[in-house]
């Protein structure tokens, strides 16, 4: 008898098929969901959660530094660092922005850079018991953070343990190794080794550039330490420590006074220089009159042409000897070829035309407190009223330099023409500026006895010069340094300097020239009207 076999395998198979079908259907739904949502694999992911950045540096903008992913996905990323302060140590958050996702990264701004230290030298000298100050050693220190700097108390200690001070002292002579250390607020340190030579010091500093006699214009105190320097065998340059004692000098009263200059080194050794201060009235020697009474018959005076030139020979006081011939023959007129020997020099400028330099010259004279004489022609007065008025307002003398500046010399003109050359300039300046001129300079320096008489008859004093440089050829200017040295080498007491305001050389060197004259112990005098 056969029993009917159950179809259990078939049912099981059918159930398996049904189950598989359900799973496949479910999977399809899931896959579909992933595809639609994009929530499967992230388009980009962080390389690291934290990024370390040195203070002062900017974060790179290349997203691949911070995240990884496909190239096309990386290209979609933007690095946002708006909340990061690059210059301040701290922890900040930056963002890597992708169209589908924003990732945050921690940014730590740190300071691991040691301070920058510069010293004046690597070896220093002091006397036993003399403190070497940090300011004597340290030229500069810089860092992004606050810095503590000083001498290390013990060079054998670890850097972190060093105690710092602003001075160091050794009792005994010898050579000592030390350190200058700079620590910032984040523990970074720079250590610079130095050698300190401790030597016995009994030598005083040396003063240089002292003028044993200094001349001052009444009412104008002078610095007797100007251009004086001091050096010491141990301390080096101690010029900053120079002091002066002028308590016994009355700068408002003419006379001769005693003064002193002092300087001490770090060991207390003192150098002293005695200085004689002579206070004078700079205009006192100018009030001399003429020995000649001028008559109206100008034909009675010699019209012989006299060129002006005195050669290069000088006496023991550097005064041109060739001027004596002019003084002997023509000094009886109201005429200055040179001023009497003194410690004053007189600055004069000839102005035929304006080359754009006078304003700067006036600025320099104002800065240096020097009064000059500006000899102007009539065209100059008409074309440059503002400059002429400034000359007058700032206390300079405006002198007469003729109407036409005849190249052959004033004496080559007729008597009437010579008178007009003087009078027309005089009248124009008086009418338009309310200023009475009283000094005259002959064009080219050439003159005659007749010309001197004519100029004097018009109420003028003729002013020549004891120094002039070839500075009037605009297109052939002398070298500035050469010109300056030549002018200073020729300085002499009572000098009348002739410079031309049309010379760029003179305009450039003027300030240094004034300083150089004063460094030689001279001062600038000024012309005052003779009543």
- Give tens-digit pLDDT for 202-223: 899 999 988 787 777 778 788 8
In the annotation, is 336 catalytic? no
The CATH code of the domain that includes 178 is 2.60.40.10
Q: How far apart are the first and last CA of the chain?
A: 173
Query: Which residue reads 């320097």 in tokens?
Result: 229
**Residue-level length of the chain:** 531
What pLDDT score was predicted for residue 286? 52
Query: Does the structure show a pLDDT above 70 at 73?
Result: yes
Query: Does the structure show a pLDDT above 60 at 457?
Result: yes
Query: Does the structure show a pLDDT above 60 at 30?
Result: no
Q: Which of 98, 396, 405, 500 is catalytic?
A: 500
327 with 402, same domain: the answer is yes
H runs (alpha helix) in 394-479 = 415-433, 449-457
- Give tens-digit pLDDT for 221-247: 888 998 899 999 888 899 999 999 999
The region of weakest confidence among 21-25, 197-201, 305-309, 522-526 is 21-25
Between CA 138 and CA 118 the distance in angstroms is 6
- Residue range 124-143: mean pLDDT, rounded: 91
Query: Does the structure show a pLDDT above 80 at 148?
Result: yes
Instruction: Tell me if 335 sits within 8 A of 452, measured CB to CB.
Output: yes
Task: Identify the domain containing residue 70 by its residue range.
Answer: 44-110
Instruction: Identify the DSSP state of 136.
Output: H
Q: Which of 350, 396, 405, 492 is catalytic?
A: 350
**3 is a domain residue:** no
Greater confidence, 319 or 14? 319
**17 is a domain residue:** no
- Residue range 262-270: mean pLDDT, rounded: 90
What pLDDT score was predicted for residue 221? 85
Q: Cα separations (Å) of 62 from 42, 67, 81, 93, 314?
A: 19, 10, 12, 17, 80
Query: Which residue reads 């690059």 in tokens?
Result: 86
**36 is a domain residue:** no
Reported confidence tier of residue 9, pLDDT bands at 50, 70, 90: very low
What pLDDT score was predicted for residue 472? 65
What pLDDT score was predicted for residue 302? 95
The last residue of one of the domains, among 168, 198, 228, is: 198
257 with 349, same domain: the answer is no
372 with 416, same domain: the answer is yes
Query: Does the structure show a pLDDT above 90 at 354?
Result: no
171 with 218, same domain: the answer is no
Rounded-to-5 percentages of helix, strand, coil across the chain: 30, 30, 45
Instruction: Tell me if 208 sits within 8 A of 242, measured CB to CB.
Output: no
Closest CA to 503 of 333, 358, 404: 358
Query: Does the structure show a pLDDT above 50 at 20?
Result: no
Greater confidence, 58 or 153? 58
Look at the chain and report how many structural domains it folds into. 4
Query: Does the structure show a pLDDT above 70 at 200?
Result: yes
In the annotation, is 350 catalytic? yes
Read off the pTM: 0.53
298 with 390, same domain: the answer is yes
């Amino acid at each position: 008898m056969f029993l009917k076999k159950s179809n259990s395998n078939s049912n099981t198979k059918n159930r398996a098929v049904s189950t598989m079908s359900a799973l496949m259907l479910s999977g399809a739904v899931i896959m579909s969901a992933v595809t639609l949502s994009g929530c499967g694999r992230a388009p980009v992911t962080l390389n690291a959660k934290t990024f370390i950045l040195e203070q002062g540096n900017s974060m790179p903008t290349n997203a691949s530094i911070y995240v990884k992913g496909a190239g096309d996905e990386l290209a979609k990323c933007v690095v946002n660092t708006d909340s990061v302060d690059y210059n301040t140590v701290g922890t900040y958050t930056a963002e890597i922005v992708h169209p589908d996702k924003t990732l945050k990264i921690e940014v730590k701004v740190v300071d691991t850079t040691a301070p920058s230290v510069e010293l004046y030298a690597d070896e220093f000298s002091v006397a036993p018991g003399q403190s070497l100050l940090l300011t004597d050693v340290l030229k500069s220190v810089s860092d992004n953070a606050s810095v503590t700097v000083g001498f290390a108390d013990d060079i054998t200690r670890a850097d972190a343990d060093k105690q710092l001070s602003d001075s160091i002292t050794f009792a005994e002579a010898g050579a000592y190794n030390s350190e200058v250390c700079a620590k910032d607020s984040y523990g970074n340190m720079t250590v610079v080794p130095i050698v300190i030579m401790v030597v016995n010091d009994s030598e005083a500093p040396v003063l240089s550039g002292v003028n044993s006699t200094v001349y001052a214009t009444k009412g104008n105190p002078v610095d007797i330490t100007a251009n004086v320097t001091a050096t010491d065998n141990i301390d080096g340059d101690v010029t900053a420590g120079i002091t002066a004692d002028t308590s016994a000098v009355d700068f408002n009263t003419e006379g001769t006074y005693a003064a002193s200059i002092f300087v001490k080194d770090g060991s207390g050794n003192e150098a002293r220089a005695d200085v004689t201060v002579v206070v004078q009235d700079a205009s006192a020697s100018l009030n001399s009159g003429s020995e000649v009474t001028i008559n109206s018959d100008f034909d009675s005076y010699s019209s012989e042409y006299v060129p002006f030139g005195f050669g290069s020979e000088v006496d023991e006081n550097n005064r041109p000897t060739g001027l004596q011939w002019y003084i002997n023959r023509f000094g009886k007129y109201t005429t200055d070829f040179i001023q009497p020997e003194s410690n004053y020099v007189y600055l004069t400028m000839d102005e035929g035309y304006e080359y754009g330099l006078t304003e700067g010259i006036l600025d320099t004279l104002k800065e240096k407190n020097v009064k000059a004489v500006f000899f102007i022609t009539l065209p100059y007065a008409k074309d440059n009223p503002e400059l002429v008025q400034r000359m007058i307002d700032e206390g300079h003398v405006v002198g007469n330099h003729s109407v036409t500046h005849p190249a052959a010399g004033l004496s080559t003109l007729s008597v009437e023409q010579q008178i007009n050359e003087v009078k027309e300039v005089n009248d124009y300046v008086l009418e338009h500026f309310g200023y009475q001129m009283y000094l005259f300079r002959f064009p080219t320096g050439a003159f005659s006895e007749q010309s001197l008489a004519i100029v004097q008859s018009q109420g003028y004093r003729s002013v020549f010069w004891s120094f002039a440089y070839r500075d009037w050829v605009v297109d052939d200017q002398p070298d500035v340094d050469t010109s300056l040295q030549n002018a200073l080498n020729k300085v002499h007491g009572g000098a009348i300097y002739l410079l031309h305001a049309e010379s760029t050389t003179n305009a450039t060197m003027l300030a240094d020239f004034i300083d150089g004259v004063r460094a030689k112990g001279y001062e600038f005098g000024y012309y005052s009207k003779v009543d």
